Amino acid sequence: MDFEQLYELYWEKIFRLCMGFVNDYATAQDLAQETFIIVWEKQDTFRNEANIGTWIFRIASNNCLRQIEKQKRIIKTDLLPNLVEERSHSLEPQILFLYKCIADLSETDRIIISLELEDIKQAEIAKIVGLSEANVRVKIHRIKEKLTKKFKENGQR
């Protein structure tokens, strides 16, 4: 698969993962771009030892985890403030609430639930995060319970 195909196939998924992590549109856009810069730079080192999706999600989630360490982002998207404003008005409150609830979770939980919602198999999630499959399963169950509880409390059902 060449870079263009990877970009087309994974951009949206990676963006949502980043958005679930930071819940900030401009930062998520920057993180997604950085992920693809790394993918571009590293594409020759991918040796088919893993699923390409697992490989990209590992890069994206590690890049998110490294966020605190970087004092300033390596690139900045020139996103107009009114575009962000417009975007959040057009989204349903339920969607905004879901992303907010996810961003409030612990960092590992944010990554796990984002991958689960992207329909990534639990075995793959385990490989991305570095936990056992059983562990991931338990975590997903708990996170969903937590989210459901928050939705109920907030009357979002």
Partner 1 sequence: MDNDNIDFKNLWKQQIVSKPNLEEFMVQLNKFKKAGLKTYWITNAVLALTSVFLVCIWVFYQPQFTSTKIGLVLTILTMVVYFVVFNRILKPSLYVGVAQSNQNYVQGLITIKKKQQFMQSTMLSLYFGFLTVGICLYMYEYTRFMSTVTAMVFYVLTIAWSALNWLYIRPKQMKKQQLIIDELITKSREISVDSVDDEME
Residues found near partner 1 in the complex (CB under 8 A): 4, 7-8, 11-12, 15-16, 19-20, 29, 33, 36-38, 40-42, 45-46, 55, 58-59, 61-63, 65-66, 68-69, 74-75, 87, 90-92, 94-95, 98-99, 106-109, 111, 114, 117-119, 127-132, 134-135, 138-139, 144-145, 147-148, 151, 157
Contacts of 71 (CB under 8 A, 6+ apart): none
CB 47, min distance to partner 1, A: 10
According to DSSP, residue 119 is labeled T
- Is residue 120 a contact partner of residue 57, using CB atoms and an 8 Å limit? yes
Closest CA to 64 of 98, 101, 106: 106
CB nearer to partner 1: pick between 74 and 81: 74
Give the nearest distance from C-beta 1 to partner 1 in angstroms.
Answer: 14
For residue 105, the minimal CB distance to partner 1 (Å) is 11
Structure tokens at 46: 């991918």
Q: How far is the CB of 61 from partner 1 (least distance, A)?
A: 6
| Residues in the chain, overall count | 157
What residue type is 7 in one-letter code?
Answer: Y
